[in-house]
Structure 1
Amino acid sequence: MTAHRTAPAPLPAEELAALTGRLHQDGVIGLPQAFTREWVRRLDEDIATAFADARGREGGAVGRGPNRYYVEIHPEQVRGFVDLVSHPWITAVAEAVLGAEYRIVEVGFDVPLAGAVDQPWHRDFPMPEETSRHRRLNSLAVNVTAVDTEPDMGPFEIAPGTHWDDGAGFEHGMFPPREAYRRYHDLAVRKFPRMGDISIRSALTVHRGTANHSAKSRPVLVLGLDGPGADNGARHDTAVTREFWAALPEAVRAHLDCPIVDTLRPITQKHTIEGLVMGASD
């Protein structure tokens, strides 16, 4: 585990209110320079190690389209895990949107390799009743880019405000019909984060990865957070060892919702509907 060389300053109350208001309105916010480039270089190394391991065993990585993979990992595979989940900007937004009892339920990463193609527009899971009926968000996804994103690297594309779209006509509650694509294309914003930048979004906001025309990969860490009543943890197999758990600050243990085990087992990725629709990687 590592620590911030310089602890980031907490968000002022008025800035936090503005950020959560924009998150409610757009479904996504960006927070530049949350981490140092040195910290992100270590993250990139950890992702590369985990990705090589995952691709070397059956079920270690799941396709999210040609030349595009998702891998779920255990928290202790990221040396900066404590830095990430205790970052005051992330914890402040999580508490403001999800409540003080939010839970950490997912640690993983996406890797679009050279040759990755445009994904279909999608949200990451069907809209829960709390959102459709009461217009409340009960989960968030934090994205941390491991590289400087350039225009030819297949940047992430998101359609602000679409987290409130009625998904009744979406295939599997996740994939809008193709006749709706023009609207998403017109709304879409491409994101070009640099090392150290993070975003926080509702995974219901319709989005896609775009085609990677470069010779480089674009790895992105994903941290999944649930509020009370959300059940996204059931989709994930995160665990920690007893030694790792004992070394965690109490403020982190209070939010980490996963089994505590003697020995970690490599995670076999779930072959989800999302993977089936987007197609396997080569």
Structure 2
Amino acid sequence: MAASASPDPTPVEVGTAVRELYTEGITARKGAFTTAFADTMREDIDTAFKEALARPGGAVGRGPNRYYVEIHPEQLRGFEELTEHPWIRSVCEAVLGPDYQFVELGFDVPLEGAVNQPWHRDFPSPEETRHRHRLTSLAFNLTAVDTAEDMGPFEVAPGTQWEHGDGFQHEMFPPREDYPRYAERAVRKYPRRGDVSARSALTVHRGTTNHSPHPRPVLILGADAPGAGNDGQHDMAVSRRRWEALPERLRRHLRCRVVDVLEPVEQQHTIEGLVMGDA
């Protein structure tokens, strides 16, 4: 598959991405992939979403008409091209170190009628971030559609990755009296097919109301620094035959089980509170 649509990043471009992650909490590479790659990704997401909804534990609700599904690498035809993309590799190495690990592959699907999520981060801030000002994980997002205003764009409050979160419910959900502060600094994102973003999942964010009749599926690739521990929230697996066919460089960065027979993922990464949306 012809996946990459942009040249290898320069040291200056990688440095800019790192600076933006440490200041804004989010960065992006426009046109990193071809639209054909994004369209194939959409086909694979649609297939996996339909299968997940048809079985118990296949999808996790993230609020009304909003779902999260974790998948195995073999369910995404472009997994190798995704994880080997020069910008993604370079940002992982610069932020997480040379021994970074991919620990999560999944997607979010806000359907028509999905409402504003509560402002949140995806997990409590780790000690390394709170006290040493170091990011130990990244979430890469790839949209499967060209995002329009009425589709419930992703909204982020830049710079909030450093908030300790001591007063947050479950250390993830800020109190409602703080919502105006996040809304004041909020930035909406309108990625197009082929774009990829990288963010700290600690940066406070939310999905907004989808007023359109169209779903807005987004692929998520999660990466950890060694010892970050987010792999415990996921259950990525690769068949032995597929594992042996992967490049050695990628295998070094893939934190997953190697199995003889793949079983469907029973979702583990729930985020308390999101089932209520903004109600």
SS of 2:273 mapped into structure 1: helix
Aligned partners of 1:3 and 1:80 also within 8 Å: no
Check 1:252–1:111 CA distance in 2 against 1; reply closer, same or farther (3 A cut): same
Matched with 2:259 is 261
Matched with 1:251 is 249
Matched with 1:197 is 195
- Residue 270 of structure 1, CA deviation: 2.1
Counterparts of 2:242 and 2:2, CA distance in 1: 15
Residue ranges of structure 2 left out of the alignment (5+ in a row): none
Aligned with residue 62 of structure 2, among 64, 85, 100:
64
Aligned partners of 2:137 and 2:225 also within 8 Å: yes
SS of 1:152 mapped into structure 2: helix
Aligned partners of 2:6 and 2:31 also within 8 Å: no
- State the TM-score, normalized to the length of structure 2: 0.97
- Residue 203 of structure 1, CA deviation: 0.2
Matched with 2:134 is 136
- Residue 78 of structure 1, CA deviation: 0.3
Aligned with residue 228 of structure 1, among 226, 229, 235:
226
Aligned partners of 2:2 and 2:34 also within 8 Å: no
- Residue 8 of structure 1, CA deviation: 4.0
Counterparts of 2:37 and 2:128, CA distance in 1: 36
Aligned with residue 239 of structure 1, among 237, 240, 258:
237
Code of the residue aligned with 1:57 in structure 2: it is R
Matched with 2:93 is 95
Counterparts of 2:68 and 2:146, CA distance in 1: 19
Counterparts of 1:186 and 1:250, CA distance in 2: 46
Q: Which runs of 4+ in 1 moved over 3 A?
A: none
Matched with 2:274 is 278
Counterparts of 1:7 and 1:194, CA distance in 2: 13
Q: Deviations over 1:149-176 (max 9, x none)?
A: 0000000000000000120000001000
Code of the residue aligned with 2:255 in structure 1: it is D
Q: Deviations over 1:215-273 (max 9, x none)?
A: 0000000000000120000000100001111111111111001110011000111273x
Aligned with residue 214 of structure 1, among 212, 221, 234:
212
- Residue 3 of structure 1, CA deviation: 4.9
Q: Between the two proteins, what is the percent identity of the paired residues?
A: 58
Counterparts of 2:134 and 2:5, CA distance in 1: 31
Aligned partners of 1:8 and 1:88 also within 8 Å: no
Q: What's the RMSD between the two structures over aligned residues?
A: 1.2
Check 1:248–1:271 CA distance in 2 against 1; reply closer, same or farther (3 A cut): closer
- Residue 9 of structure 1, CA deviation: 2.2
Counterparts of 2:75 and 2:102, CA distance in 1: 15
Aligned partners of 2:63 and 2:114 also within 8 Å: yes
Check 1:93–1:9 CA distance in 2 against 1; reply closer, same or farther (3 A cut): same
Residue ranges of structure 1 left out of the alignment (5+ in a row): none
SS of 1:279 mapped into structure 2: helix
Counterparts of 1:191 and 1:3, CA distance in 2: 26
Check 1:254–1:3 CA distance in 2 against 1; reply closer, same or farther (3 A cut): farther
Check 1:170–1:140 CA distance in 2 against 1; reply closer, same or farther (3 A cut): same
Q: Deviations over 1:192-232 (max 9, x none)?
A: 00000010000000000000000000000000000012000
SS of 1:120 mapped into structure 2: coil
- Residue 182 of structure 1, CA deviation: 0.5
- State the TM-score, normalized to the length of structure 1: 0.96
SS of 1:200 mapped into structure 2: strand
Matched with 1:147 is 145
Q: Deviations over 1:39-59 (max 9, x none)?
A: 110000000000000000001
Q: Deviations over 1:60-82 (max 9, x none)?
A: 00000000000000011000000
Check 1:271–1:137 CA distance in 2 against 1; reply closer, same or farther (3 A cut): closer
Check 1:58–1:280 CA distance in 2 against 1; reply closer, same or farther (3 A cut): farther
Counterparts of 2:7 and 2:90, CA distance in 1: 11
Equivalent pairs counted in the alignment come to 277
